[in-house]
Amino acid sequence: MFTSDQQQEKIYLDLFSFSQSVFAAIDVEQLLPEILQWVAARTHAGRCRIILYDGQTEAINLGNDFDPKVSSTIVELVKAQNAVFVSANAMEDARLQESLKKPGTIMQQKLLSVACAPIRADRQVFGIVYIDHRDEKAVFDADTGRLLQGLADLMAAALKKSLDNSLQRRQETARLHNELRELRREVDQLKGFGEMIGTSPAIQKVYQDIHQKTIYNTANVLVTGESGTGKELVARTIHKKGPRSREPFVVIDCSTLNAHTIESELFGHEKGAFTDAREKKLGLIEVANGGTLLIDEIGNLGVDIQQKLLRVLDSRELYRVGGVKPIAVDARFVFATNENLPAALALGKFRQDLYYRIAEGIHIHLPPLRERGRDIVLIAEKLLQEFSEKNKKRVAQLDPQTQEILLRQTYPGNVRELRRLMLNAVLDAPGDTVSPQDLLPYLRGAPVPLNAAESPRALDLNQGHALLYNGYLPETYRATNFIRGFGAENQEFAGKEEKTILQEIRRELHDTLVVSVKEAIDLPLNIATAAAADAFERNLLIAKLIQSNGRVLDTAARCQVDKKTLISKAKKHGLKKEWYVK
């Protein structure tokens, strides 16, 4: 390597001078590119790399090119012997014969000249300086080895200190990242989980179930709860937090489709399978392959389709409509329903085998909004922000009275109903705060009188309506789904046919209206009696509609009012057809 003693002396003096820069450096890692450049210039190497190890793992691998690969055989030899290695032609080196028999780096890269020196501290190798040349033989010699080893020894102490500091920084960074993740998780739990919002014990139980039961596996899940409680949001959270988050999330709502359409949407169809099947169509089960499929309102599936779905769950194969070839599927199923599936099972509307196949998985029950306390305000504030942005308004807060009114509602429609309330409140609010005047016109069962804008007592009257409807009337008369819910949950009706259950509930509703006045004792008499009269009118209308089985003209005659008035009052009270039609 050295053509004269004078050149050798010059290079070693250069090395000594360069080493002073290494010792003076605060962060030696920043000097590594300069060190590599220095080595390449004085050894005529094609490639130079410095590799530092944390145990057996590469902590730093830096070179003057983009290829990080070096011969592991040569590196392990240097580390094992704790000595410099120089080869004039690695492909013919007797020391590497065993390695040359295998298709490794030496043969792949056609290595010729190679030199490698250990970087060591306390006789322990923690790194290497590696150079090679792929185009010329005998570029390196013993002088090259001594130069590399001298450089490695001069750098060792500073590099070891830098490596230890770097590892400490990385460990500290990893610790801080873990702490940050934990803090974010705790903050998420303070206000919600994923896109879900709430801090109440009831919703915290849901978060806990999702975290512990669903996100570390791909088991099927059943999500139950009243309509509007956020079952699709739960399914989406399960998907996003789980192992299939990078794959499709697909939804089918069985309540909006007829039996033929549901079958085609779920399983797909072949071309010509039926009259309108002009092209082959993939079913949503196939579309969700690898991801998650939410089958919403599974209680609406017909028995025949239930059987086909059960076959898919058991075999993980499906047949398209009109198809004869089985298609393998791998999707996670999330089933959602607001129905009482055991009751549907007893009535023969739901297959027993499918029910047990679904029920054996993970079950998450969503609480109704009325049981979630101040979550109502948190969700309302989130909706306030959403609707304000969408409608380019600056409504930013709910005043305390508005919050109190929101907390007193029973929300038969749950979050969906709260969304309607907040949208209307945002649109009506003249300033940046939602007041009771903006909210009360849209409360269920609390209609605004025609003179609401002018009357100084209109707000108080509306508050009276809201208080009696939502605080003092029995739950049976407040819930929009009271007939179905009461019949499904009350043990008194266990084992009875649906027709008998409905008849008994209707009879009780027709005969009884109980209003508690204990909590209304502080209301003015005129407001309390007006609200109670309004409640009585609502109940009486339901009773008369039941008597006439929902026939509008017959009911109008019984009430001695015209058809238009009857329809107007039914809308005012938010009456549902299923409440009074057999």
Q: For each of the chain's 582 residues, which pLDDT tens digit applies? A: 545 555 556 666 666 666 666 555 555 567 778 888 888 888 888 889 988 888 777 878 888 887 788 888 898 899 999 999 999 888 888 888 777 766 666 777 778 899 999 999 888 899 999 998 888 888 888 888 888 888 888 888 878 887 787 778 778 888 888 777 777 666 555 556 778 888 888 998 999 899 889 988 889 999 999 999 999 999 999 999 999 999 999 999 998 888 878 988 999 888 887 878 788 889 999 999 999 999 999 998 988 899 999 999 999 999 998 888 999 999 999 999 998 888 888 888 899 999 988 877 899 999 999 999 889 999 999 999 999 999 988 888 998 888 888 888 888 899 999 999 999 999 988 888 998 888 888 886 443 332 333 233 333 444 444 444 444 343 333 333 333 333 334 444 455 555 554 555 444 444 444 455 554 555 566 666 766 777 778 878 888 888 888 888 888 877 888 888 888 888 887 787 777 776
CATH number for domain 5-167, candidates 3.30.1490.20, 3.40.50.170, 2.40.50.100, 3.30.450.40: 3.30.450.40
Q: 3-class SS at 62?
A: strand
345-350 long-range contacts (CB < 8 A, ≥24 apart) are: 346/495, 347/497, 347/498, 349/299, 349/303, 350/299, 350/303, 350/306
Q: How far apart (Å, rounded) are the C-alpha atoms in residues 352 and 574?
A: 36
- How many other C-beta atoms can be found within 10 angstroms of the C-beta atom of residue 554? 14
Question: Where are the domains positioned within the chain?
Answer: 5-167, 196-367, 457-582
Amino acid, res. 577: K
DSSP assigned state of 519: T
End-to-end C-alpha distance for the chain, whole angstroms = 103
Asked if residues 283 and 318 have their Cβ atoms less than 8 Å apart, the reply is: yes
Residue 447 DSSP label: P
Burial class of 162 by CB neighbour count within 10 A (0 to 12, 13 to 18, 19+): buried
CA 499 to chain centre: 41
Distance CA 187, CA 183 (A): 6
CA-nearest of 284, 278, 291, 294 to 318 is 284
- Reported for 543-548, long-range contacts at CB under 8 A and 24+ positions apart, including other chains, are 543/509, 543/510, 545/570, 545/575, 545/579, 545/580, 545/581, 546/506, 546/509, 546/510, 546/580, 547/510
Sign, CA torsion 298/303/305/310: positive
Residue 554's φ and ψ, nearest 5 degrees, are -65, -45
Q: What is the CATH number of domain 196-367?
A: 3.40.50.300
Yes or no: say if 6 and 101 are a contact pair by the CB < 8 Å rule: no
By 3-state DSSP, what share of the chain in percent is helix, strand and coil, each rounded to 5?
Answer: 55, 15, 30
- For 333-399, give the secondary structure using H, E and C: EEEEECCCHHHHHHCCCCCHHHHHHHHCCEEEECCCHHHCCCHHHHHHHHHHHHHHHHCCCCCCEEC
Sheet with 292-296, strands from edge to edge, namely 249-253, 292-296, 332-337, 221-224, 362-365
**CA–CA–CA angle 505, 510, 515 (5° rounding):** 100
What is the C-alpha to C-alpha distance for residues 440 and 470, in angstroms, rounded to an integer? Answer: 13
C-alpha dihedral over 244, 245, 246, 248, to 10 degrees? Answer: 80
- With vertex at residue 161, the alpha carbon angle to CA 159 and CA 166, rounded to the nearest 5 degrees, is 90
Q: Which residues have a Cβ under 8 Å from the Cβ of 260 and sit 6 or more positions away?
A: none
Torsion, Cα 193 197 220 309, to 10 degrees, reads -150
The per-residue pLDDT for 507 is: 47
Partners of 196 in the beta sheet?
Answer: 193
* Bridging pattern class, strands 268-269 and 281-282: antiparallel
Helices 352-359 and 303-315, interaxial angle, to 10°?
50
Two tokens, residue 252: 């089918």
Do 375 and 263 contact (CB within 8 A), yes or no? no
- Beta bridge partners, 292, equal 249, 332
pLDDT value for 295 = 95
pLDDT at 376: 92
Q: Within 197-283, where are the H helices?
A: 201-209, 231-241, 259-267
The Cα 483–Cα 576 span in angstroms is 11
Q: Which helix (H) or strand (E) holds 507?
A: helix 498-511
Phi, psi of 282 (to 5 degrees): -75, 135
Tokens of 441: 């016109």
- The predicted structure's pLDDT at residue 514: 47
DSSP notation for 323-334: --S-EE---EEE
- For residue 92, give every residue at least 6 positions away whose Cβ sits within 8 Å of its Cβ, in sequence order, or none: none
Q: Residue 112 and residue 79: Cα distance in Å, rounded?
A: 21
pLDDT of residue 199: 84
Q: Count other C-beta atoms under 10 Å from residue 117's C-beta.
A: 26
Residue 563's alpha-carbon distances to 476, 483, 537, 544, in angstroms, are: 28, 25, 16, 14
Strands 317-318 and 221-224: unpaired
42 contact partners, CB below 8 Å, separation of at least 6:
11, 14, 147
Confidence (pLDDT) at 16: 62
Residue the block writes with tokens 């072949």 = 270
Whole-angstrom distance, CA of residue 72 vs CA of residue 417: 66
